[in-house]
Structure 1
Amino acid sequence: MSQPVTRRDFTFGLAAGAAIAGAGSISVSAAYADDVSVPTPPPLPQPVSKTICFVGGYTKHAPPGGAGNGQGISVFEMERDTGTLTPITTFTDIASPSFITLSKDHRFLYALSEIDDFNKDGDGSVTAFAVDPKTGSLRKLNVVSSGGAVPAHLSVHHSGRYVLVANYMGGCVAVLPIHADGSLGEATDVVHNTGPRQPERAADNPQGNFAVSDHSGSHPHMIHSDPSGRYVLADDAGLDRVYVWTLNLQTGKLVPAKTPYYDMEPGCAPRHFQFNHSGRILYNLCEQNSKIVVSNFDPDTGAINNIQTVSTVTSHFRGSTLAAEILISASGKFVYASNRLGDSLAVFAIGSDGTLTLQDEVWMHADYGRAMMFDPSGTFLFCANQRSDAVTSFKVNKSDGQLAFTSNFTPVGSPTTFAFMNTEV
């Protein structure tokens, strides 16, 4: 006979059932806990370095006939896949920074002003900047005399202790000491070159070349140390000579080498040079006849011995042109030269003995290309086209040295010079 279910029994039954159900639920959850995938948040974006491009050129403040459309030093970020330059800012408190260079550690940037009214002596000037390693922004440190009128080129000596300056109209080169904070001191040495007057045109000009180079006197166009840092060389485009010195690092004085200078083809106007990676082959670009003179260079004595002269224009070229810039690829296998007026880029292969073979002549896609520079990776070659107010770029085939136009045009007023750096993360 069944017992009647009391209210109390019913209540206890509900509680027990709930407990059993709860226990079963916990057991199922526990059984499947290891099989449940818990979504993990995506990793935070990692900071990456940027490639910064500095471009200088001619501003309205310049010697007579040299005024341009530039605003100062323009700063861009380079897109690494395409080579596109995106503007960041422009440093405007500087006159005609027609040549700029970075210190080896990229902490400082030095810019000349191609002017002749910095002081009562009619000198140009050099400005020192501190570079923000994370952004590439510039902070002016100080400005000093370049030691002569209308400087055309400057470089940081291999030791990192001096800036070397070539004063084109001043007919001299100068040595500026670098202080611990990157600022510059007054010149420790100024050397004036002298020699006989040379013809305005070279005898081995390209056919139909009516362009002339100024041979009214000494016109230093480039100064740089050799890769060992033992010697300092300067191209004098007015005297058609290559000067060679040693630099006393304690006094900042230039001392003539055993052979103090080498005569080039009369009228050829040696302008810029590059060394190969061993420092034993010198490639010297002559402006007026658009030739490259290849020489053996002795890093022990500073002696220069010519082994080849090659044209930067193809044999079918006729007309006026002036060569401007010369580069050597990071691989050390190719040399590139720009031709103003001819608006072309010459591509040379380097032989086992250092001699050059012209492979191609590429249209610059703009007018009066002067400076050229590779980005830090060597993937792109950039050209500063002064009269077109534009920078153009080419993709570099690192295997055969060939150039492919990117179709990228970057507007910059009267550009003449580059510097590149990768920012710190």
Structure 2
Amino acid sequence: MAGRISRRTFWQGSLAAGVLSGSVACGQARAQAPSQAQAQPAQAPAAQGGASPAGSAPPDGAVKSAPKRIFCYVGGYTQHGPPGGNADGLGLFEMNPDTGALTHVATYADVASPSFIALSPDGRFLYAVNEINDYNDQHSGSVTAFSIDQGSAVLTKLNTVASGGADPAHLSVHPSGRYVMVANYTGGTFALLRVKPDGSLGEMTTLIHNSGPRMPDRAADNPPGNFAISDHSAAHPHMIHADPSGRFVLVADAGLDRVYVWRLDMQSGRLSPAKVPFVPMTPGSAPRHFQFSEDGRRLFILCEQDSKVVVADFDPQTGLITPKQTVSSLTAHFHGSTLAAGILLSPDARFLYVSNRLGDSLAVFQIAADGTLTLVDEIWTHADYGRALKFDPTGRYLYVANQRSDSITSFKVDSLTGKINFTWDFTPVGSPTCFEFLTLPAQA
């Protein structure tokens, strides 16, 4: 329909075509070699509880903490894959814990559109979707597994397998580490892949295609003046993740406006519907991502089309989702096109953060004892089309992947108020969409 702008085509007219660099084997650096980056490891921050910084004498009776290095893996869109981007592949950076600055270490260029990545629970493996639709000349995307060198963070590709549907947009690793779960956005499917002992991907144990009635392109509670729409032409699973107990697997379907709940059989890797198989969201709202509280009893669901967060109780015994609050990630002053993107809990679970694409803002919510939210701040991202949000392992910095701006921006976090301040640090990287942080011991 003329004048409509979808979430995957809104920005294409202004995107300059990226030039994909020649492939390099995984484990080889495109710029700075890992061995060079290791020559001067970043100084580790002081540990909580009064431990001294690395290199200084600890006070009497204190145990000196071992120095650490913090690495960051960055995924994004390459030319191969919708919507077509400027990334060269999967990037590896090292973080300076004192400044938050990210320094490029390596790029793995033989990875097509790694638009979402996830670490195994033990930090030994990394998995990436390949958001493409022609894997092995089939209408499917793929998933790639890597092993991680525990001294240098360098990746070695293990294998690549079909994802079970076109354009996978999200994946996660089950808390047991035994399954990788992937949501295929365009394909309308989600799948479970068994993880082999060496970390590589094995058989597909489950493949499910959602179905339901056609939903409206826009929600009734849409922000005023929003011309952006979410694609409701079919099922579009946008996120798949287990609850903290690992008993249930939840799938947010942005096309059908539902959050599905499935019970997992750990031995077979198969899913069966929970007693209440799904909870409907506001028609047209497009539930995109969600976050669990640590105890698994509370769920925060982000709907991209109306830029709302739905707070719900979650029963870890039955999988029942009971919504109890809906709150906007925008201030009342905002008018225009926007689509919510990323959602993230603070390490202490006192605050919740949301990124708003097109509106280019970050919302900060305070979480009450009953889980309800109050918007306490909304600030400019200082970049365009912010997507994933991530805290570094120290919790001092919040990072945003800005797809259109080809940059990662960082913010200093006030742990008392939850508010964030821009560091004025930009990390240039083509079409970034996601990242993962990994802490490793510093080499002597």
**Aligned partner of residue 194 in structure 1, secondary structure:** coil
Aligned: 1:58 with 2:81: no
1:19-418 matches, within 5 Å, as: 48-63=67-82, 66-418=83-435
**Aligned partner of residue 104 in structure 1, secondary structure:** coil
Contact 1:145 1:186 in 2 (8 A): no
Q: Tell me the residue number matched to 1:6.
A: none
Query: In the TM superposition, what whole-angstrom CA distance separates every residue of 1:148-185 from its partner, at most 9, and x where no partner exists?
Result: 11000000012210000000011011000000000001
Gap regions ≥5 residues in structure 1: 1-41
Q: Tell me the residue number matched to 2:31.
A: none
Contact 2:92 2:105 in 1 (8 A): yes
Deviation at 1:47, TM superposition (A): 7.1
| Distance (whole Å) between structure 1 residues aligned to residue 203 and residue 131 of structure 2 | 18
Deviation at 1:121, TM superposition (A): 2.9
Contact 1:129 1:142 in 2 (8 A): yes
| Distance (whole Å) between structure 1 residues aligned to residue 386 and residue 126 of structure 2 | 23
Instruction: Looking at secondary structure, tell me which structure has more helix per residue.
Output: 1
| Distance (whole Å) between structure 2 residues aligned to residue 159 and residue 197 of structure 1 | 36
- Give the letter aligned to residue 98 of structure 2: D
| Distance (whole Å) between structure 2 residues aligned to residue 279 and residue 67 of structure 1 | 37
| Distance (whole Å) between structure 1 residues aligned to residue 316 and residue 265 of structure 2 | 16
| Distance (whole Å) between structure 2 residues aligned to residue 89 and residue 47 of structure 1 | 25
- Give the letter aligned to residue 252 of structure 2: D
Which one has the largest radius of gyration? Answer: 1
Query: In the TM superposition, what whole-angstrom CA distance separates every residue of 1:60-108 from its partner, at most 9, and x where no partner exists?
Result: 1113xx1100001111110001100011111111100000010111100
Give the number of aligned pairs: 381
Among the aligned pairs, what percent are the same residue?
A: 62
Query: In the TM superposition, what whole-angstrom CA distance separates every residue of 1:291-345 from its partner, at most 9, and x where no partner exists?
Result: 0000011111100111000000001111010000000011010000000000000
Query: In the TM superposition, what whole-angstrom CA distance separates every residue of 1:254-285 from its partner, at most 9, and x where no partner exists?
Result: 11101111111000000000011221110000
| Distance (whole Å) between structure 2 residues aligned to residue 353 and residue 339 of structure 1 | 25
| Distance (whole Å) between structure 2 residues aligned to residue 350 and residue 277 of structure 1 | 14
Q: Tell me the residue number matched to 1:12.
A: none
Deviation at 1:186, TM superposition (A): 2.7
| Distance (whole Å) between structure 2 residues aligned to residue 47 and residue 248 of structure 1 | 40
Stretches (4+) displaced over 3 A:
none
CA-atom RMSD in angstroms: 1.4
**Aligned partner of residue 146 in structure 2, secondary structure:** strand
**Aligned partner of residue 119 in structure 1, secondary structure:** helix
Q: Tell me the residue number matched to 1:3.
A: none
Q: Tell me the residue number matched to 1:14.
A: none
| Distance (whole Å) between structure 2 residues aligned to residue 418 and residue 107 of structure 1 | 16
**Aligned partner of residue 441 in structure 2, secondary structure:** coil
| Distance (whole Å) between structure 1 residues aligned to residue 177 and residue 93 of structure 2 | 26
Contact 2:121 2:176 in 1 (8 A): no
| Distance (whole Å) between structure 2 residues aligned to residue 371 and residue 177 of structure 1 | 26
**Aligned partner of residue 359 in structure 1, secondary structure:** strand
| Distance (whole Å) between structure 1 residues aligned to residue 437 and residue 307 of structure 2 | 27
| Distance (whole Å) between structure 2 residues aligned to residue 424 and residue 108 of structure 1 | 16
Q: Tell me the residue number matched to 1:24.
A: none
| Distance (whole Å) between structure 2 residues aligned to residue 251 and residue 81 of structure 1 | 46
- Give the letter aligned to residue 146 of structure 2: F
- Give the letter aligned to residue 295 of structure 1: A
Normalised by the size of structure 1, how large is the TM-score? 0.88
